[in-house]
A and B are shown apart, each in its own frame.
Chain A
Amino acid sequence: MDLRFTDAKPTDEERAAVDACLGAPEVGWEGGERTAEELRWARGGHAARARRDQLLPALHAVNDRVGWISEGALDYVCRRLTVPPAEGYGVASFYAMFALRPRPARVLHVCTDLACAARGSAALTGALAELLGPPGGAAGGVRWQPSPCLGLCERAPAALAIQAGEQGPQAHGTDAADLADPVDPAHPANLTGSVGPAGVAGTTDAVHPPYRTGPVDRSGLTGPADPRGRVDRAGLTGPAHPTGSASPATAADEAHPAHPAGAHAPAGSADAETAPYCTAVVGPATAGTAELAAVAPCAAPEEPPAAAAVPQAGQDGLVLLRRIGRVDPADLDDYRAQGGYSALRRAFALGPAGVIREVLDAGLVGRGGAAFPTGRKWEATAGRPERTHYLVCNADESEPGTFKDRVLMEGDPYALVEAMTIAGYAVGAHRGYLYLRGEYPRALRRMAHAIGRARARGLLGPDVLGQGYAFDIEIRRGAGAYICGEETAIFNSIEGLRGEPRSKPPFPVERGLFGRPTAVNNVETLVNVLPILERGAAAYASVGTAQSTGTKLFCVSGTVRRPGVYELPFGASLRELVELSGGVPEGRRLRAVLLGGAAGAFVRPDELDIPLTFEGTRAAGATLGSGVVLLLDDTVELPRTLLRIAEFFRDESCGQCVPCRVGTVRQEEALHRIKDLTGAAAAGDIALLREVGAAMRDASICGLGQTAWNAVESAIDRLGVYAGALPGSGPAAGTPADPVDGGVR
Chain B
Amino acid sequence: MTAIPLQLPRRLVEFTLDGQEVRAPEGATVLDACRAAGTEVPTLCHGDTLTPKNACRVCVVEVEGARTLAPACSRKVEPGMRVRTGSERVRHSRKLVLELLASSTDLSTTPHVAGWIREYGADPDRFGPEAATRAGREAKVDNDLYVRDYAKCIMCYKCVDACGDQWQNTFAIAVAGRGFDNTISVEHDAPLTDSACVYCGNCIEVCPTGALSFKTEFDMRAAGTWDEAAQTETTTICAYCGVGCNLTLHVQGEEIVKVTSPHDNPVTHGNLCVKGRFGFQHVQNRE
Contacts and interface: CB of A to CB of B under 8 A. Distances in A.
A and B: partners? yes
Interface of A: 1-4, 6, 71, 74-75, 84-90, 93-94, 96, 100, 481, 498, 503, 650-659, 661-666, 669-670, 673, 688, 691-692, 694-695, 697-701, 706, 738, 740-741
A656 B74 CA distance: 15
A96 B177 CA distance: 9
Interface string B140-181: 000000000000001101000000100001111111111111
Contacts of A659: 57, 93, 96-97, 100
Interface string B106-127: 0000000000000000000011
A502 to B, nearest CB: 10
Contact of A698 (B58, B68, B155, B175): B68
15 contacts: A6-B187, A74-B187, A84-B171, A84-B196, A85-B187, A85-B196, A86-B172, A89-B186, A93-B176, A93-B178, A652-B179, A653-B180, A658-B58, A740-B67, A741-B67
A499 to B, nearest CB: 9
Contacts of B194: 6
Contacts of A697: 68
B96 A6 contact: no
B178 A86 contact: no
A666 B127 contact: yes
Contact of B97 (A87, A670, A699): A699
Contact of B188 (A100, A662, A698): A100
B178 A654 contact: yes
B55 interface: yes
Interface stretch (B35-43, B128-136, B238-246): B128-136
A467 to B, nearest CB: 41
A94 B182 CA distance: 9
Contact of B174 (A90, A100, A651, A688): A90
Given A650-B179, A695-B92, A699-B93, A89 B187 contact: yes
A688 B68 contact: no
B101 interface: yes
Contacts of A71: 187-188
A481 B68 CA distance: 24
A327 B181 CA distance: 46
Contacts of A653: 178-180
B200 interface: no
B70 to A, nearest CB: 9
Contacts of B210: none
A670 B132 CA distance: 12
A98 to B, nearest CB: 11
B196 to A, nearest CB: 4
Given A86-B187, A666-B100, 18 more contacts: A4-B196, A84-B172, A87-B164, A87-B174, A89-B174, A503-B74, A651-B179, A655-B178, A658-B100, A659-B96, A661-B179, A662-B100, A669-B132, A692-B100, A694-B92, A695-B97, A698-B60, A698-B92
Contacts of A503: 54, 71, 74
Interface of B: 54-58, 60, 67-69, 71, 74, 89, 92-93, 95-97, 100-101, 103-104, 126-128, 130-132, 154-155, 157, 164, 169-182, 185-188, 190, 194-196
Contacts of B130: 669
B185 A86 contact: yes
A94 to B, nearest CB: 5
B96 A695 contact: yes
A87 B165 CA distance: 12
Contacts of B171: 1, 3, 84, 86-87
A89 B104 contact: no
A245 B287 CA distance: 88
B15 to A, nearest CB: 16
Nearest to A685: B128
B126 A90 contact: no
A694 B190 CA distance: 39
A692 B68 CA distance: 15
Nearest to A503: B54
A653 B55 CA distance: 13
A90 B169 contact: no
Nearest to B93: A699
**Could you tell me the dominant secondary structure of chain B's interface residues?**
loop
A481 B188 CA distance: 20
Given A86-B185, A94-B177, A699-B57, A655 B127 contact: no
Nearest to A694: B92
Nearest first, the 4 closest Cβ-Cβ pairs linking A and B are A84-B171, A695-B96, A90-B174, A662-B100
A470 B123 CA distance: 59
A59 to B, nearest CB: 13
B57 A700 contact: yes
Contacts of A84: 164, 171-172, 174, 196
B103 A662 contact: yes
A86 B57 contact: no
A495 to B, nearest CB: 14
A208 to B, nearest CB: 43
B158 to A, nearest CB: 13
A669 B128 CA distance: 9
B225 to A, nearest CB: 33
Nearest to B197: A4
A498 B96 CA distance: 26
A740 B181 CA distance: 30
A670 B176 CA distance: 27
A86 B180 CA distance: 19
Contacts of A664: 179-180
A503 B69 CA distance: 12
A658 B101 contact: yes
Nearest to B56: A658
A89 B54 CA distance: 23
Contact of B185 (A89, A694, A701): A89
B185 A661 contact: no
A662 B101 contact: yes
Contacts of B157: 656
Nearest to A74: B187
B179 A86 contact: no
Between B54, B104, B182, B186, the greatest number of chain A beta carbons within 10 A of the residue's beta carbon is seen for B182
Given A6-B190, A658-B55, A86 B195 contact: yes
B177 A657 contact: no
A84 B194 CA distance: 14
Contacts of A74: 187-188
Contact of B67 (A75, A87, A666, A738): A738
Contacts of B92: 691, 694-695, 698
B85 to A, nearest CB: 14
Between B54, B60, B127, B179, the greatest number of chain A beta carbons within 10 A of the residue's beta carbon is seen for B179
A96 B56 CA distance: 24
A481 B126 contact: no
Nearest to A684: B126
A662 B104 contact: yes
A392 to B, nearest CB: 22
Contacts of A701: 54-55, 57
Between B67, B68, B104, the greatest number of chain A beta carbons within 10 A of the residue's beta carbon is seen for B68
